[in-house]
Structure 1
Amino acid sequence: MRAGLRSELVEIQRPAAGKDAAGQETIGWVKVTDVWASIMHRSGLETIRADAQTSIVQASIRIPAPAAVGVTAAMRVLCADGTAYNIKAAMPDRVKREYVDLVCEVVR
């Protein structure tokens, strides 16, 4: 995968449990790594949930294969503009093994 095709520096994060100031359990996010990526949005989906229309934004985030080692569907991708994407699946390039496409949805 040529470097010129990766146009955005993103942060891969994993969930981490902790406690807030009041001692309550909280779930936060911890940085795993920074990686250059290519983000391609798919067409938006609209669904009806609980009698309210909901918009779902999906994206494919392509990262180099070496950077994807250990990435799971429990993680998320955070962009520099603050947009967070939940990872739904990691789909490797089975031919050249150069990249991994992360199938994601925007966190709402």
Structure 2
Amino acid sequence: MNSFSKWLELQYINWMAQSGARKTLTEFSKWIGISQPLINRYMSGQVIPSEENVHKIAVTLGPEVYDLLGLARPDPRLKEIVSRWHELSDEKQIAFLKEFQKVLTKNETEK
């Protein structure tokens, strides 16, 4: 059992304690949004979660999951851009990318 597996099992135990009732692993997995068989495999250390499932776990249980798996935590500023990207028209997206390229070019010349 690896540190992530132990942490996930502890999160399950804490979740049950906070609810004040014995809960099933199926209920826990539904709460996280990942299938119960997969959560079971994570807890046993058989597999590590995909990027998508790491995100689901982080949203529900906390960002320390990234640390336990040796992954970089997502930058909240980048998450803001990604989460709102669809709100921009195609023209605004293109303008944003062009401006971003200008900033990168300027940054490179300042080095």
Give TM-score scaled by structure 1 length: 0.23
Which has the larger helix fraction? Answer: 2
Which has the larger strand fraction? Answer: 1
The structure with the larger Rg is 2
